[in-house]
Structure formats: C-alpha cells, structure tokens
Amino acid sequence: MNIPEEYIILFESYGRGELSDQEKKDFEARLSYDTDFGEAFARFRLIEKGIQEHYRNELRDNFKEIDKELDSKSPGVINFRKLVWIGTSVAAVLLIGLSVYHNFSHDHKYKELALQYWPEEEGLPVKMSTAGKYDAAMNAYKQSQWAEAEALLTEISSSDTALYFLGIVHFKQENYTEALEHFSRVPEYSRWFPESEFRRALIFMIKNEPDSTSIILNRLMKAQSGCESKAKELLLKI
C-alpha cells in the first residue's frame, strides 16, 4: 500500500522538527486515533530505517575488508591496489547514499511546493432551473467523485472547459500523465489556458522535471496571463 504524498510531506516535517508546538501535538494525537495515519507513519519509519541500515551495512562490510587486508599483510607488502579498490568502493557507497538522499529530499521539495501552489478549483455553478451540459459532471466534481466526473466530462471532451476540468480530475486521481495531456490540449484562446499552463508547470515539478516547469513559468511571466505574480514567486523557489 502506497503512502499518500501529503502524509510523506507531513512525516518529513515532523522528523525535521519543522512543525509548531500545536501542529506537533495534533500530529501525535492523530497517531493514536487515526489507524490509517498511524500505519502509514510506521511504514514510513521502516522505509527510512531500511535505507539507513542498507548503506550502513555496505560501509561496515567495506571497512571490514580494509581491516582484513591490513591485518593479513606485513608492513611493506600490503596490496595497495586492493586497498585502493576497496577505498573506492567505500567512496562510491557514500556518494550513492548521498545521491539517493539528495534526490529523495529534492523530489519531495518539488512535490511539496507543487501541492502548496496547486489552486483549488471550485467548479462551474450548477443551474437549478435549467439543465446545462456540465451540470451532472460538476455535481460529481464538487462531491469529489472523480471517476464519475471523469466519465461525464469525457463525453463532452471536445470543449476547452471539459479538457480543463478533466486535467484537474486526473490530477486528483494522481494520473499525472493524463492530466498533462488534457491541460496541453486547452487552446490558447480559451479562458482556461493560463490556469492550464500553470497547472502543467506544477505537475512537471511533481514529476521532477524542473526545467520544463521553468520554461512554462517564464512564458507565463512574459504574457499578460494573470498568473505573472505566482509564476515569478514559484520560479524563485525552484
């Protein structure tokens, strides 16, 4: 079972001591009454511990090889070629471990920023007197019934409005590739185009493609899109 992204961000903040006193109390209280949350935190800790132990064991084994090599040879006849090879292995393990940690933390930094800047879309108003073509889809959308909303919007996906909301619906279901595809099909003349582009930039961040994010954000800054301010703000953080 996968750990939800928002849980991972919260667990990391708790582990780094970034939560306020009240947030920390709320977090620890939730561990006691929310079974799913508590189990997710336990899995997170096991994964974190497993990564640490893996690289610690690798280092310990390599250092044992060095000690064995030093003990087995008298001064002057130490196999320096072998020691260099073992030392290189130790350095490689350290570099790989640091790289894994860097990429892991960097990826989550991007995801955390993307989720922080993701605009919540309320949806179109539903008319009470007459039935509009988006009403059924918007009812499902507003109730977070994403699969139903997707099916209803797909029936009218030739419109820019449907494409935009399909992008959001796929994002909510963590279908990021599908979300990107639908947002990219929103035409430039559409009222939804600037928001679609901004959301594409955020999804590229989640997919750890900051270069694609930067290209879109720079384009939004130069255009009179209405997204200039938040595009500039986000660019300064990536």
Confidence check: pLDDT of 58 > 70: no
Task: Average the pLDDT over 136-140 and give the result.
Answer: 93
**pLDDT confidence tier of residue 56, bands split at 50, 70 and 90:** low
Range of 34-38, 72-76, 99-103 with top mean pLDDT: 34-38
Q: Is residue 153 part of a domain?
A: yes
pLDDT value for 77 = 46
Q: Quick one: which of 148, 122, 121 has its CA closest to 136?
A: 148
Task: Average the pLDDT over 45-64 and give the result.
Answer: 64
- Look over the chain and give the mean of its residue pLDDT values, rounded to a whole number: 79
Same domain, 19 and 98: yes
Same domain, 56 and 107: yes
Q: Is residue 124 part of a domain?
A: no
Domain that includes residue 190, residue range: 135-235
Same domain, 9 and 111: yes
Same domain, 63 and 90: yes
Task: Report which of residues 106 and 131 the model is more confident about.
Answer: 131
pLDDT value for 44 = 82
Domain boundary among 61, 84, 117: 117
Task: Average the pLDDT over 18-45 and give the result.
Answer: 83
Same domain, 113 and 140: no
The total of structural domains in the chain comes to 2
Q: Is residue 130 part of a domain?
A: no
Q: Which two tokens stand for residue 238?
A: 């990536």
Same domain, 86 and 158: no
Q: Is residue 171 part of a domain?
A: yes
Amino acid at position 18, single letter: E
With beta carbons less than 8 A apart as the criterion, state whether 198 and 179 touch.
Answer: no
Q: Is residue 126 part of a domain?
A: no
Q: What is the pLDDT of residues 163-220, one digit of tens each?
A: 999 999 999 999 999 999 999 999 999 999 999 999 999 999 998 888 888 889 888 8
Same domain, 172 and 223: yes
Q: Is residue 123 part of a domain?
A: no
Confidence check: pLDDT of 151 > 70: yes
Kindly compute the dihedral angle of the four CA atoms of residues 125, 142, 119, 26, in this order, to the nearest 10 degrees: 140
DSSP result, 25-86 = HHHHHHHHH-HHHHHHHHHHHHHHHHHHHHHHHHHHHHHHHHHHHHHHS-TT---HHHHHHH
Q: Is residue 92 part of a domain?
A: yes
Determine the Cα angle at 159 with ends 154 and 162, to 5°.
Answer: 50
Domain boundary among 117, 151, 177: 117
